[in-house]
Amino acid sequence: MAGAVEALYIFDSQNSPILQHNWRHRPTASPQEYITSYISHPAPRPPLIYLSQLSPPTLLFNIVHNNLTFLSPVTSEVEPLLVLEFLHRIADVLEDYFGPPLIPSKIEGNYDIVAELLGEMCDDGLPANTEPNGLRDVVLPPSIMKKLLANVTLPSGSLDPFRAAPSTISTIPWRRANVKHNSNEMYLDLLETLHCTIAPSGRPIASRVTGTMLFTSRISGIPDMLLSIRTPTARGGGGVVLEAPVFHPCVRLSKWNAQPGQLSFVPPDGKFVLASYEVDMLPNFSPSTASQGFNPPVSVMTKLLQGTNSNEFEVRLTIPGSSPYCTVIPSQSAGSSAFARIAAQGAGATIPSQFLHGGPSTGSSSNPIMEDVSVRIPLPPHVRTVLNTRVSKGDFLHDTERNHIHWRLPNTAIVPGGSYTFKAEVVVKSGHEDGDDEEGKRSGKLLSNYDNNYNDGSSKAPSSGTATPAKEKEKDKKQPPSAQAIASMPRSVLLDFTIRGALLSGLKVDSLNIVGGKGIAESVKPYKGVKYISRAGDGSIEIRC
């Protein structure tokens, strides 16, 4: 178990190579061969592809970042997460150097810096210095590089940055030395994502909030900070508990463990992820208790097998009248662009940098607002199209490639008590006629049976398998939906929303202060900003029908 990263290949969205870098011995195949075997693997690819046809057998690690494919072939045993984490770090560092989003031209235009970075980050295949701040001490960012090119011909004077800067290596690995800012400022963005699964009965069966604390620090010197966060109720009092928190190395773990909620740290310069955590919103799950406790801020109800031909479904969005997230009707300008940005953002895992700064954020912690409410309805594979769609508000889109319907509400419609419906009839692909009426009847009974189970939690066994279907059958006799109709109904609905100005877990920042450090004058009062954003997206809320 040596644990060495051997090489890195970056390919663009057309799978053409844009970068290759070998840290160790010759690769077992050409970049073309690697990308070919990568592509030949069917679409949701495992993060590590075993290439037995190469000699020696090679593990092809891969990640996709911003449409760029990072491949790293490894020929001997290595911890898989080491390679993957390292690839993610490379992507992050490149983004940090060249500014997000990372696009091929930025890499192509700065090959020298990329080569230096890769050489610093990994020495002879062993990951070494991966802290963006630490790297800035030794590799000059492009802006300074340009300045440098302009000034090299000058006699070495005050403007010669590279003789002075890199010789001092910071003693704090994650913070570069000699940080100077004209205006001192720090921002804390708390971003929470709600993950929720709701049973057909409308009751949440699992509900979890995952949170990320994004910190941006532009403070001179070496500031020592203390951040106090407050959970709604104290520990043990049934309030929320931050579970499985993970921290940036700068956070003093002993302080946190002694006093949960107190983060004491010397921040890196620039943007970084300070911590992430999760909160179980249904800590005492039990299907027998009534549906009390947490519910998502928008409720979604579905009705299947509607209409005369039982080929219609209805999705109803209701914003509770007491919703705390829409006390003020937001201005229309805030909405659509934000929607586009969130939609453009890939898998929910990457930290959405657009939340850091800018963006039309009208919500504040005193007046949180909800925006960008939309619903995605994945359709069964054999549904050809939908007809007769009726939307009471907003617009929708049938994405035929991914075979789902995307229905978006305008932000102006998000008012307390608002209730909107989407109705559509499904059309099944021809040649998919299976099952006669009799079978359909029985399947109909199945579906409702399942519902019953969910509702009463099935802790007591349903009386008997033979009695219920008989009754159900009679009930269904009036309008027997065909098996085909049932199979063509959506199975689940995915809800997306963004709330600015509030966290669903109820977490609050009590204070953020510089409590010590050096190189920062007493008189300096840095600007502080705290932002709360809660969101759901990328299928994180699933309502089963």
Partner 1 sequence: MLTRPMLTIYAARDLTIEAATSASGSGRTYGTKLINSPAKAASPKEIRRFLSSRHDRDILDGLRRVVSLLDQPIIILTVAQMMSRGVDCSEYFADVVKNVASPTLEIKKLVYIYLLTYAESEPDLSLLSINTIQKALTDQNQVVRAMAIRVMSGIKVPVISQIVALGIKRCAADMSPYVRKAAALAIPKCYRLDPSTLPVLVDYVSTLLGDKSYYVIGAAVMAWWEVCPDRIDLVHPHYRGLCKLLIDIDEWGQLALLRLLTVYARKNFPKVRTKSVKKRKTTSGTKGFYSDEESGDENVVESIDPDLKLLLDCCPPLLQSRNSAVILAVARVYYHLAPPIYLPKVAAPLLSLLRAPEDIQSIALTNIVFIALSYPSVFAPHATHFLVSAIDPPQIWKLKIEALTLVYPYASKDIQSLILNELSYYAGGYDKEMVREAVKAVGRCAQNNPEQSQRCLKLLMQHINSPDQTLVAECLTVIRHIIQQHPARHKKTVVRLAKALDTATNSAARASIIWLVGEFSGVDNGDNVAADVLRILAKNFADEAEGAKLQILLLAAKIYAHYLNRTQGGLADLTASEDESPEDTHPIPVLFNYISRLARYDVSYDIRDRARMYMSLLSTPKSSQLATLILLAPKPVPFAPSPSAAVREGLTVGSSAMMIGKDEFIRGYVSLPDWVSEADATSSKVRDPVVQDSGGYEEVRAVDRPKPQAAPVRAPVSAAPESAASVAKGKEANGKTLDEWLEEEEEEEEEESDEDDDKDEEGEESSEYETDSEEEEEEEETDDDDVKESTKMLPS
Q: Select the residue interacting with partner 1 from 184, 210, 217, 374 (CB under 8 A).
A: 210
Q: Compute the least distance from the CB of residue 387 to partner 1, in Å.
A: 20
- 344 lies in the binding site for partner 1 (CB under 8 A): no
Binding residue (CB under 8 A) for partner 1 from 54, 94, 102, 114 = 114
Q: Which of the ranges 151-159, 296-304, 353-361, 517-525 carries the binding residues for partner 1, by CB under 8 A?
A: 151-159
| Binds partner 1 (CB under 8 A): choice among 123, 395, 399, 433 | 123
298 forms bridges with which residues in the sheet?
A: none
Strands of 79-160 (E only): list them.
122-123, 126-127
Q: How far is the CB of 113 from partner 1 (least distance, A)?
A: 9
| Per-residue binder mask for partner 1 (CB under 8 A), 221-250, x = binder | ----------------------xxxxxxx-
CB of 376 to partner 1, least distance (A): 9
Two tokens, residue 535: 């969101």
Query: Site residues for partner 1, window 73-102 (CB under 8 A)?
Result: 74-82, 84-86, 88
Cα separation of 335 and 333, whole Å?
6
Examine residue 401 and tell whether it contacts partner 1 (CB under 8 A). Answer: no
Q: Does 524 help bind partner 1 (rule: CB under 8 A)?
A: no
Nearer to partner 1, 237 or 465 (CB): 465
| Ranges within 273-332 binding partner 1 (CB under 8 A) | 273, 276, 278, 280, 282, 285-288
438 lies in the site for partner 1, by CB under 8 A: yes
Site for partner 1 in 464-503 (CB under 8 A): 464-466, 483, 487, 491-492, 494
Q: What is the dihedral of CA 152, 155, 157, 162, to 10 degrees?
A: 30
Only one of the segments 93-101, 115-123, 298-306, 423-431 lies at the binding site for partner 1 (rule: CB under 8 A); that segment is 115-123
> Distance (Å, rounded) from C-alpha 354 to C-alpha 372?
15
75 or 323: CB nearest partner 1: 75
Structural element, H or E, at residue 409: none
Site for partner 1 in 177-196 (CB under 8 A): 195
Give the Cα separation of 240 and 281 in Å (integer).
7
Distances from the Cα of 333 to the Cα of 340, 344, 361, 483, 531, angstroms:
13, 18, 10, 46, 20
- CB-CB contact of 191 with 533 (8 Å): yes
8 A C-beta contact, residue 394 and residue 379: no
Q: Does 399 bind partner 1 (CB under 8 A)?
A: no
Which is nearer to partner 1, 153 or 366 (by Cβ)?
A: 153
For residue 124, state whether it binds partner 1 (rule: CB under 8 A): yes
CA distances (Å), origin 293, targets 197, 238, 281, 296, 403: 14, 11, 8, 10, 34
Residue 5 or 334 with smaller CB distance to partner 1: 5
* Contact pick of 6, 7, 19, 294 for partner 1 (by CB under 8 A): 19
Of 506, 486, 416, 412, give the one whose Cα is nearest residue 192.
506
Question: Binding partner 1 by CB under 8 A: which of 101, 260, 293, 539?
Answer: 539
Mode of pairing for the β-strands spanning 122-123 and 68-74:
unpaired
We find the least distance from the C-beta atom of residue 388 to partner 1, in angstroms, to be: 23
Told to check if 508 binds partner 1 by CB under 8 A, we report no
Q: Which of 141, 166, 239, 307 binds partner 1 (CB under 8 A)?
A: 166
**Residues 6+ away with beta carbon under 8 Å from 488:** 311, 379, 380, 382, 383, 426, 428
**Adjacent-strand bridge partners of 395:** 408
Where does residue 394 fall: left (phi above 0), alpha (psi -120 to 50 degrees), or beta otherwise?
Answer: left
CB of 177 to partner 1, least distance (A): 11
Binding mask 448-467 for partner 1 (x = CB under 8 A): -xx--xx--xxx-xx-xxx-
**Complex with partner 1: residue 40 or 322, whichever CB lies closer:** 40
Q: Which of 36, 53, 108, 479 binds partner 1 (CB under 8 A)?
A: 108
E strand segments, 124-221: 126-127, 185-198, 204-218
Structure tokens given for 306: 């509607």
Q: What is the DSSP track for 474-537? A: HHHTTS---HHHHHTS-SEEEEEEEEES--TT--EEEEEEEEEEESS-TT---EEEEEEEEEEE
Site for partner 1 in 369-398 (CB under 8 A): 378, 380-382
Question: Count of CB atoms within 10 A of residue 203's CB?
Answer: 18
Closer to partner 1 by Cβ: residue 52 or 322:
52
Q: Which residue, 149 or 521, has its beta carbon nearer to partner 1?
A: 149
Using CB under 8 A as the binding rule, whether residue 115 contacts partner 1 is answered as yes
Q: What is the side-by-side order of every strand in the sheet holding 17-22?
A: 17-22, 7-11, 68-74, 58-65, 48-51
Sign of the dihedral through C-alpha 110, 113, 115, 118 = negative
Out of 73, 132, 394, 440, name the contact with partner 1 by CB under 8 A.
Answer: 440
By CB under 8 A, residue 126 contacts partner 1: yes
Task: State in angstroms the smallest separation of the CB of 109 from partner 1.
Answer: 4
Minimum CB–partner distance for residue 286 and partner 1 (Å)? 4
Among 119, 260, 270, 359, binds partner 1 (CB under 8 A): 119
Amino acid identity, position 164:
A
In sequence order, what are the residues at sequence separation of 6 or more whose Cβ sits closer than 8 angstroms to the Cβ of residue 138? 120, 129, 166, 169
Distance of closest approach, residue 52 Cβ to partner 1, in angstroms: 7
The answer to the question of residue 427 lying near partner 1 (CB under 8 A) is no
Select the span of 114-122, 316-324, 352-360, 524-532 touching partner 1 (CB under 8 A): 114-122
Closest separation between CB of residue 19 and partner 1, Å? Answer: 5
Identify whether the C-beta of residue 412 lies closer than 8 Å to the C-beta of residue 388: no
